[in-house]
Each structure stands twice: as structure tokens, then as C-alpha cells.
Amino acid sequence: MACLGVFVAYLPVTSVSVSLTAIQSALSTTTSQLAWVSDAFVLPMAAFILTAGVFGDVHGRRKVFLAGLLLSAAGAATSLTAHSIGQLWTGQALSGLGAAALLPTTLALISHAVPDHRERGKFIGIWAMCLLGALAVGGVLAGTIISSVSWRWIFLVPLPVALVAVVIALRALPESRAPRAGRLDWPGQITAALAITALVYGVIEGGAGSFGDPQVVAALAVAVVSGALFAVVERRSAHPMLDLALFRSPGFTATALVAMIMFLGMIGFFFVLSLYFGMVQRLDTLGTAWRLLVITGAALVVSGVAGRVMHRLSPRLMITTGLLMMTAAMLTLLGADAGTSFGSLSWRLLLLGLGMGLVTTPMTATAVASVPHPLAGMAAAGNNAFRQVGGALGPAVLSALLTSRAVSSLPGHLADAGVDGALAGRVTDATRDSGLGAVGSLALGPQAGQVFGAVGDAFLDGMRLCLIVSAGLTFLAAVLAFVLLHPGVGRNRSTRVAGEPAAARVPEPARPREADEVGEVGEADEVGTGASA
């Protein structure tokens, strides 16, 4: 049931990513509106994942699991019937809330069902493979569907799977709670949700228009004030959603920063890459899906191997090496253009996926192993929350950079292509107002080929800027991982947070050095801290 739940949660991610071009064409959206299609899913997940874990600990994991499945089904149904961008955002937001409920709860279910931590590690490995498997097959399913029917039908797939899972869970899934669960931290939850939502909104709208616009300034001000209030509330709370003492641990601080920076660059890059395949290479959704499958498939294979060798290799070495591989892959993509073949792209995408797989598993395990045992579940959930914040900001930041650079370079490319006069003015005005996708709705006449060629060249200018920024972010994450993570971090579960009284530590029974670190993520669930992947 845990594997089925996480599969439902992550199935929409790549299916939507590979369908962005089709969605933009069908709904005539701007680039910033298109960025909200991804962010409408990620934002609720980032904002509510900690609360969902605690709620399951207090009120029952089965209830939260069922709620997550029903929200995912409701989101899929809403998106399936969407005829406006607003309705699609609503459906994605409901699916994101469902994913926020399912991610921590599915790991907690495994923890309850498999008490032995060594045996549990095997099942959590299968859980992680189902998560990555959803990413791998979602795009291919979406491509196959769109090649035959409307893009809306990509949302049909998770609907029956979620409903079947609900029926099975009602009959077969036992209820469980954490033995020492805390209480819900509503002030922390409200201030965190406000800060995250306002920050992403401000970045998206500021990139699409101007950061001097009153609504953008107001949104960013709300983000700053809410973030400060969150810190004050969590410091004073008896049951904090995110204990700020975690940040006294260099290992947790490093992995939180690395997770956020890496996903900011990575998810934003995926957003740009999907548009490149659709707008520049003129691939259909299935062609885009096969290319992204190279990345997710490689990550799926390597993450399984990484989970088995974490006790032999330094997490710092694995994380730093993986991030450097991702940086190198992005830099090699700078030479890609409209005519770059699949064969030429495949080894670069493969390198990117290998790096992703090498980073993902040890990053969470290191966050957990770097803090005292009672805080391990909160550390895992906090690490995932920072990851999702970076993932929400990624499309916002990179879509703003992409649009700004492409629109500024388009007049020069139109002139080089021999397009001038009134037609060049109409094309330039349309892209400035509504993004590059607006060109497809214009009557271009006999010069359509030259216009689309110029638009493709302008897009490549924007994509190269995004690649440089994404590569810079992953390289920064690699430097932070190498500097902040000492060689032994992630191997000693008894490490205490700097400044924590020794009496606050909870003794643990000794266990062999080769204990599976992946299993420890689930082990913390029974402590009652709302652990997440």
C-alpha cells in the first residue's frame, strides 16, 4: 500500500512536465502561467508535508493516507475536465496536497509494518524505486496518450489507481499512530505556508513583469515577514513543526542547503528542457518523454545501488561527486541546438541522471544521521521540505530568466532571418506580452518558417543562460557539500546537535556498523515526529 501510495503521489510530475508544450498551445498560456502549472503542485506539497506527517502521528496514518489518495483523485478529476488554466492550477494544487499527505504517511506505514530496521531498509528501497518508477513511466504514458487523444487524458491514469487503493486500504490497512506524538503546530504551519507561497508568487510575477510592481513588492514583503515570524514561533513553541536546534548540526544544515539549491537548479532545468524539446526540436510529447526517461531511468538504477553502498562510502564523496556530474552534464548541453540528435543528447542526459541518483538517497540519510535520534524524523521531513521549496522556486526563477533573455534577443534574430516591418513588430509585441508560445497563435503568412526559426534561436539564447545558472547552482551545492560535510558525517547516528545538553540525547542500542542507513529514515517515524522521505 505504501508503494502504491507513493506511485499515485508522483505519477503526475513527469506526465505534466512532458506535456507543457501541448498545454501551452491548447490553453494559450504565457510562460509565467505555465510555470504555475508545476508550482501549483509543488507549493502545497512543500507547505504542508511537515503538518501531514505530524497529523498522521497524532490522529492516525491510515486516515491521512486515505485523505491523500482522495485528494490525489480529486485533483486528477479536476485537471481531467480543465478547460482553463485556472482550473488546471486548482487540480494541480489538490494533487499537491494529496502528495503532501502521502509522502510522510507511506514511510510511516512501512515503519509500523516492519519493526526490524535492517529488514525495513529493503522495503524502503522498494518504496524509493516506486517513487522514481512513477517519474519514469509517467512521461511515457503521457506521451502515448497525447499522441492519440487530448492532453487532458493524461490525468485519467492516477484516478482509477487512487480509487482502487482507497478500496483496498479501507478493507485491509490497519490504523497506526506514533507512541509519543506531539501536537499540531498551527502558528508554524500558517507562517510557513504564507512565506513559501508569497515568495514563489513574487518571483514568478516579478520575472514575468517587474519586481517593482506593487503586488510583487507586497508579496516579497509578506514572505520576509512570515519567514521571520516562523522563526520566532518555532523557537518559542513547545511542539515546533521544525525545531531550529536542527540547524546547529553542520550535517543537517549542509544537506538542507544542498537539497534546496540543487532542486532549484534541477527542477527549473527540467521545466526549460521540456520546452526545448517541444518548441525548438518540435518533438511530440512521446518524443520528449523518451528523452526524459534517460534521466529518470538512470537515476532509478543508481539510487538503488547508492542505498546499498552508503555504509561503505563517505556520503560527502557520493553527494559531491553526483553534483559535479550534474554540473558537467548541464555544461555539455550548452552546445545543443535545434538539430542536435537524440544520440548526441543521450549521453549528456545519462550523465545527468547518474548524478541525480548518486545524490538523492545519501542526502536524506545524512540529514537523518546528523542529528539526535529523537529529531531524526523531523530532520528527514525538514530536508524534504527544503527540497520542495527549491523545486517550487526553480521553474519560477528559470522561466523568468528564459523569457527575459529570449524576448530581448528575438528582434536581432528576426532581423537576421529577414523578418522586418509590421510582422516583426507583431511578433515582438506578442512575445513581450505573453511569452514565446504566443507566436503559434499569430497569422504569420509565408514567412512563418523564418519566424519560427528566429523564435527557436531566441529560445536557445534563453536556455543557455538557464543552463549556466543551473550549472552554477549545482556547482555551488557541490562546494557546500564538500566544505560543510565532514568525511564521517551520516555514519554516526548518535551525533548530537551542537550545543545540545548531553542529557537530551536518547540512548540507542548498539548495532552493527553496516546497518542500512536507508532504513533509519523510516525508523524515526515511530518516534512521532512526522518523518518524510
- Answer yes or no: are the C-beta atoms of 58 and 185 closer than 8 Å: no
Q: Return the pLDDT at 520.
A: 37
How many CB atoms within 10 Å of residue 218?
A: 13
Chain mean pLDDT for the chain: 79
Average pLDDT over residues 433-441: 69
Query: Nearest 5°: phi and psi at 56?
Result: -65, -40
**CA-to-CA distance for 103 and 122, rounded, in angstroms?**
18
pLDDT one-digit tens code per residue, 305-350: 776 776 677 888 888 999 999 999 999 999 888 888 888 999 999 9
- Answer yes or no: are the C-beta atoms of 22 and 151 closer than 8 Å: yes
Report residue 233 as a C-alpha cell. 514561533
pLDDT one-digit tens code per residue, 111-136: 778 777 566 666 766 777 787 778 77
The residue among 357, 458, 450 whose CA lies nearest residue 403 is 458
Q: Return the pLDDT at 527.
A: 38
How many CB atoms within 10 Å of residue 312?
A: 8
Residue type, 99: A
Q: Which residues contact 262 (CB under 8 A, 6 or more apart)?
A: 323, 326, 359, 387, 390, 473, 474, 477
| 237 has pLDDT over 70 | yes
- C-alpha pair distances (Å), 425 with each of 30, 240, 412, 422, 528: 18, 56, 12, 5, 61
| 168 has pLDDT over 70 | yes
Q: How far is CA 287 from the centre of its chain?
A: 22
Burial 319-342 (b: 16+ CB within 10 A, else e): bbbbbbbbbbbbbbbeebeeeeee
DSSP H or E run through 307: helix 285-309
Q: How far is CA 138 from the centre of its chain?
A: 15
Q: Return the pLDDT at 465.
A: 92
> Residue ranges of the alpha helices (H) in 333-447?
342-369, 376-416, 421-434
Residue 257: exposed, middle, or buried by beta-carbon count in 10 A (0-12, 13-18, 19+)?
middle
Q: Return the pLDDT at 377.
A: 57
Q: Which residue has the higher pLDDT, 375 or 100?
A: 100
Q: What is the chain's length?
A: 533
Q: What is the 3-state secondary structure (H, E, C) of 39-85?
A: HHHHHHHHHHHHHHHHHHHHHCHHHHHHHHHHHHHHHHHHHHCCCCH
DSSP H or E run through 206: helix 186-208
- C-alpha pair distances (Å), 46 with each of 2, 159, 291, 363, 532: 20, 22, 27, 17, 11
- C-alpha pair distances (Å), 189 with each of 107, 241, 248, 441: 21, 7, 22, 43
Q: Which residues contact 277 (CB under 8 A, 6 or more apart)?
A: 21, 283, 287, 288, 291
**CA-to-CA distance for 423 and 41, rounded, in angstroms?**
38
Query: Nearest 5°: phi and psi at 210?
Result: -145, 140
- C-alpha pair distances (Å), 429 with each of 212, 261, 283, 438, 441: 21, 34, 26, 10, 13
The residue among 432, 400, 345, 436 whose CA lies nearest residue 29 is 436
Split at pLDDT 50, 70, 90, the class of 373 is low
From start to end of 93-226, where are the E strands?
none
pLDDT one-digit tens code per residue, 479-511: 988 988 876 555 544 444 444 443 344 333 333
Burial 77-110 (b: 16+ CB within 10 A, else e): bbbbebeebeebbbbbbbbbbbbbbbbbbbbbbb
Average pLDDT over residues 218-222: 93
**CA-to-CA distance for 348 and 471, rounded, in angstroms?**
13
Average pLDDT over residues 425-441: 75
Q: How far does the chain reach from its first CA to its final CA, in angstroms?
A: 16
Lowest mean pLDDT among 18-27, 130-139, 214-223, 510-519: 510-519
**CA-to-CA distance for 456 and 338, rounded, in angstroms?**
7
| 407 has pLDDT over 80 | yes
Q: Return the pLDDT at 517.
A: 37
> What global pTM score does this model have?
0.74
> Residue ranges of the alpha helices (H) in 310-341?
315-332
- Answer yes or no: are the C-beta atoms of 471 and 331 closer than 8 Å: yes
**CA-to-CA distance for 62 and 59, rounded, in angstroms?**
9
Q: Which residue has the higher pLDDT, 297 or 132?
A: 297
> Residue ranges of the alpha helices (H) in 152-185?
158-172
| 406 has pLDDT over 60 | yes
